[in-house]
A and B are shown apart, each in its own frame.
Chain A
Amino acid sequence: GAVVSQHPSRVICKSGTSVKIECRSLDFQATTMFWYRQFPKKSLMLMATSNEGSKATYEQGVEKDKFLINHASLTLSTLTVTSAHPEDSSFYICSARKPPGQGGYGYTFGSGTRLTVV
């Protein structure tokens, strides 16, 4: 199957600090990964598309300087929430698709990261 690992699962940080979230494809190479944000009882909102070896593509309204994305290898994308504030508290979740060339089918999600900024 296609396994996506996300770490950490929960993080509490102080306002003004930065938090890094990692998303790894464990058994396939992912040239593209996606980062979502989910508020309680709401749907998944795409924040950005992470492209290996190039700049991420951000959705309208998402601050690229606030949410730094790095996709330095074919198996790892990171999302860094910089200068976090309480309004950044949310559930962040990544996803990736195993390429058809690697026997892929469908999108797989990481386990999500519950960020709480105090």
Chain B
Amino acid sequence: GENVEQHPSTLSVQEGDSAVIKCTYSDSASNYFPWYKQELGKRPQLIIDIRSNVGEKKDQRIAVTLNKTAKHFSLHITETQPEDSAVYFCAASNSGYSTLTFGKGTMLLVSP
């Protein structure tokens, strides 16, 4: 089955800095890669996703890049703000109704 590795487990940045979270996956058949943000005690919220036919996708301060050959994808947050502080999860799946396999999460702390 799919295995998703996520690094780092904790990331501390100053407000205004950029943050990068990296994930690798093992199943070459995976073709859908979402990123979720989860605040304490709340549900994960989809913040951006990318499909395997695209190498990069951007939405305001958030971008995701995908390298299919190397089987890794990354989340980039620019101009970080304290409200970006949360746990971020990457995930991978085969499209359709297949299950999502999650990375272990990255706790992002943005200091004012």
Interface positions of A (Cβ within 8 A of B): 31-32, 34, 41-44, 46, 49, 91, 93, 95, 97, 106-112, 114
- Given contacts A42-B105, A109-B44, A112-B42, is CB(A97)–CB(B97) below 8 Å? yes
CB-nearest residue of chain B relative to A6?
B43
Interface positions of B (Cβ within 8 A of A): 34, 36, 41-46, 49, 89, 97, 99-105, 107
CB distance from B22 to the nearest CB of A (A): 16
Contact B46 A108 (CB under 8 A): yes
**Residue contacts A-B, CB under 8 angstroms, 15 given:** A31-B97, A34-B99, A42-B104, A43-B102, A49-B99, A93-B44, A97-B97, A106-B34, A106-B46, A107-B34, A108-B46, A109-B43, A111-B43, A112-B41, A112-B42
A91, B101: Cα distance in complex, Å: 18
Does more than half of chain A's interface fall in helix, strand or loop, or is it mixed?
strand
Q: 20 more A-B contacts (CB under 8 A) besides A42-B104, A95-B100, A107-B34?
A: A31-B97, A32-B97, A41-B107, A43-B102, A44-B44, A46-B99, A46-B100, A46-B101, A91-B41, A93-B43, A97-B97, A106-B46, A106-B49, A107-B46, A108-B46, A109-B36, A109-B44, A110-B43, A111-B43, A112-B41
CB distance from A103 to the nearest CB of B (A): 15
CB distance from B39 to the nearest CB of A (A): 11
A108, B42: Cα distance in complex, Å: 13
